[in-house]
């Protein structure tokens, strides 16, 4: 699941800690410069959005996956 973030401080460690109760094995990739977050977890998109809201972070799901540096998605344009 990928999200566009708008109104929060972008801190990968804080996102991971906040999402860990949903899935202890959660993995994230954060592109803080672009405000993009990828979450790999056994959780629904709404559950992730709820956690982000508790962090005072406004986010919207991305309709099309994008490459997030350090993430698991690849569009092939990096090579």
pLDDT digits (tens, 9 = 90+) for 39-53: 999 999 999 999 999
Percent of the chain at pLDDT above 70? Answer: 84
Is there a contact between 18 and 51 (Cβ–Cβ < 8 Å)?
yes
Q: What are phi and psi of 15, to 5 degrees?
A: -60, -45
Counting as low any pLDDT under 70, the low residues of the chain are 67-79
Lookup: tokens for 79: 């090579």
């Amino acid at each position: 699941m990928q999200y566009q973030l708008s109104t929060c401080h972008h801190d990968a460690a804080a996102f991971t800690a906040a999402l860990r109760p949903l899935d202890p094995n959660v993995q994230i990739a954060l592109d803080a410069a672009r405000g993009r977050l990828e979450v790999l977890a056994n959780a629904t998109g709404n559950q992730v959005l709820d956690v982000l809201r508790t962090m005072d972070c406004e986010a919207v799901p991305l309709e099309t996956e994008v490459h997030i540096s350090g993430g698991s998605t690849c569009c092939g344009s990096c090579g």
